[in-house]
Chain A
Amino acid sequence: MDTSLSDDELLTAYAERGDQLAFRQLVDRHKDRVYSFILGMVHDAELASDLFQDTFLRVIDVMQRRRGSYKPQGRFLGWVLMIARNVVYDHKRSRKKWKDVSDGDDGFWDRLPDDAESADEALHLRESSQWLSACINNLPPAQREVVLLRQDAELTFREIAEITDVSINTALGRMRYALINLRKMIDQQSSSYAPGAARSQNVQLTAVTHV
């Protein structure tokens, strides 16, 4: 299979001729970004794997139902991420576990290691990707979604606006507030590990939720 083929060419090869190799190549090309987005939304590797499968099963279902008449409508990754988003929201609705950052009993600080670390360890933790992932997890859902779609899935803001069914200005505004909130979390965490600062202060962070 020619690796230089575009997404649309691969998609057409699968939709029109049932070319499985073309579909395999499409999945391999985008699987990590789709999985990363789902994992960022649900924070559970096992559940993310299930929802990842559900996403592509829906893709296959749509492709097979439209066999012979499928016309590529745009960027494949954007389309798959829109399906992934629907799968995630369907799951959250079915479980009734969709919690806003403000009413969650499993708060941001609860997810962080509770032991009092040394300053070096704290610094390492702060710098670690795990810590930043926890920060992203603590963002309001709409902002978290934009961060994951822009940073991990590498969609443009126009694509994010289409997927989330908002204007491009709203998508940009959410990203801005998300970055501002992440900046606050980083600063607050830094100050809590500053010499003399009490770790047990249990600082509560109020994320900006204007958008």
Chain B
Amino acid sequence: MSSASNNMDKKLLLIQHLYGEREDAEELKELLKDPAWRAEYQALRDVKRKLENRALRRPVTAPESAVDKIIASARPKLTPIWKLPTSRSKQFAVLGGVGAVAACLLVVFLLPERQTQESPVISDEVLDPVELVKWDDTQERIEMQQTLNVVRQRTRPDLWDESAVMRLDSLAGNLNSSPSGVESASTLPQ
């Protein structure tokens, strides 16, 4: 049994030596001392040479049309929007990114359009400086100034001092006589 397996090992060793997959030259020399092994080795080596010559005589080349199709298929593919990542957080991230890009595009393309619609037409006509200040009518300006003074007086801080409180008390006294029963400001808890 051990002899048979030993023989088998030697046969396999011969194949490894034949194809240069075993570097031990001494081992091969030892094997070839046996005439039977030597005969087998030589016979197999002849066949191997024939196979090698066959490959040299008739080199097989892959068809270029097939290679071109392969290379064309190797282009990196963009992931379509409907093939978003399966993770929900990744989906939100991708959708958020797409939304941000869309918003930027809207701003870039729509805003200039609105501005062009509202912008005044600029003509080459030179305006008279008198015409430019015509809106500054004197009477209107005086009335505006008067209105402004009235507003300022009514909102002066000293209008809300003691005198103002007294005026409120008197106003409240008048209201006390009314059935609504509103208390005067002076009777209110301090």
Among A31, A169, A186: residue with most chain B CB under 10 A:
A31
- Residues of A whose CB lies within 8 Å of any CB of B are 14, 18, 20, 23-24, 27-28, 31-32, 34-36, 39, 45, 49-50, 52-53, 56-57, 60, 64, 67, 128-130, 132-133, 136, 147, 150-152, 156-157, 169, 172-173, 175-176, 179-180, 182-183, 186
Interface residues of B in 51-83 (CB under 8 A from A): 51-55, 57-63, 65-67, 69-71, 73-77
Q: Which residues of B contact A173 (CB under 8 A)?
A: 8, 11-12
Cβ contacts B131-145/A at 8 Å (1 or 0 each): 000000000000000
Q: Is the CB of B12 within 8 A of A179?
A: no
With a cutoff of 8 Å between Cβ atoms, the chain A residues found around residue B21 in the complex are 156-157
Extra contacts, 15 of them, besides A35-B61, A53-B70, A179-B44 (Cβ < 8 A), are A20-B75, A31-B62, A32-B62, A35-B60, A35-B66, A49-B63, A57-B70, A64-B77, A132-B54, A157-B15, A173-B8, A175-B19, A176-B11, A180-B44, A183-B43
Interface check B47, CB cutoff 8 A:
yes
Whether A132 contacts B51 by the Cβ 8 Å rule is: yes
Q: Is the interface of A mostly helix, strand, loop or mixed?
A: helix
B90 contacts partner chain A, Cβ-Cβ < 8 Å = no
Contact of B50 among A31, A45, A186 (CB under 8 A): A186
Specify the main secondary structure of chain B where it touches its partner.
helix
Bound-state Cα–Cα, A60 to B53, Å: 34
14 A-B residue pairs with Cβ-Cβ distance under 8 Å, sorted by A, are A32-B59, A32-B61, A35-B66, A53-B66, A56-B70, A57-B70, A67-B76, A130-B58, A151-B51, A152-B55, A152-B60, A172-B15, A179-B48, A182-B47
Q: When the two chains form their complex, are residues B74 and A14 in contact, meaning their CB atoms are under 8 A apart?
A: yes
Using a CB-CB cutoff of 8 Å, which residues 1-36 of chain B contact chain A?
Answer: 8, 11-12, 14-16, 19, 21
